[in-house]
Amino acid sequence: MEKKFLSPTVNLWLHQRDFLKLSANLRRYLSYQLEFIDSEYDYPVARLNDITIYFNHSKSAEEAAADWNRRKTRINYDNLFLLMYDRENLTIDELRQIERIPCRGKVVFSSRSRSALPYVVTMKTTDNPQGEQCMDKDWFGMRTFEKQFDYVKWINGE
């Protein structure tokens, strides 16, 4: 969409339970300082209190911290959207935590039917056994979720 990244969680990853903790207590977690730790990965990994953040698109801890700190100042708390993937065997009770998160829109892409949760969109996933369900890209660079969910309409409230 050629827009500036307004989320500090762009170009990194967290385990799903850590993402839920961060989302449920966003202001509190963003008040903490990143503490970079040694890991088996060839990219920076940091602790933010009790959650771990994996900066897989950063070359150094300095770059990761600069991107994180710059992007977290851009957050518009009155215009938040939560988008996540159900890929680590989250329970229904864990996914219900999303109900309490104040934001304009919530969507969870899942390969499992979660009809009790109105913000879960069941996706047909790729056949790639090494894939990440909704994140796999086709030859044209389009992710699976982009083919099955019109996120532009969702963001615009249509």
What pLDDT does residue 71 have?
92
Q: pTM of the prediction?
A: 0.83
- What is the tens place of the pLDDT at every residue in 119-153? 888 876 555 444 444 555 565 566 666 666 777 78
- Tell me the C-alpha distance between 106 and 92, whole Å: 15
11 within some domain: no
Backbone phi, then psi, for 144, in 5-degree steps? Answer: -55, -45
Residues 87, 151, single domain; the answer is yes
- Residues 23, 50, single domain; the answer is yes
Q: For residue 110, how far is the Cα from the chain centroid? A: 13
pLDDT tens for residues 54-74?
999 999 999 999 999 999 999
- 119 vs 10, 77, 84, 92, 109, CA distance in Å? 21, 20, 10, 12, 9
pLDDT tens digit sequence for 5-44: 788 898 899 999 999 999 999 999 999 999 999 999 999 9
Q: Are residues 99 and 66 in the same domain?
A: no
Reply yes or no on whether the pLDDT at 93 is more than 60. yes
Count up the domains in the chain and report the number: 2
3-state secondary structure (DSSP) of residue 81: strand
Selected residue with higher pLDDT from 108 and 37? 37
Pair (117, 92) in one structural domain:
yes
User: Is the confidence at residue 85, as pLDDT, over 90?
Assistant: no
Q: Is the domain of 62 the same as that of 88?
A: no
- Return mean pLDDT, the chain: 85
Helices within the chain (DSSP H only): 16-24, 26-30, 61-72, 92-96, 144-148, 151-155
Q: Are residues 119 and 68 in the same domain?
A: no
How far apart CA 99 and CA 119 sit, in angstroms, is 9
Q: Are residues 151 and 125 in the same domain?
A: yes
Q: Is residue 26 part of a domain?
A: yes
From 85, 98, 107, 118, select the one nearest 26 (Cα to Cα).
98
In terms of domains, do 86 and 149 share one?
Answer: yes
- 126 is a domain residue: yes
| DSSP-assigned beta bridge partners for residue 85 | 109
Residue 129 pLDDT: 45
Domain with 40 in it = 16-72
CA distance 158 to 154: 6
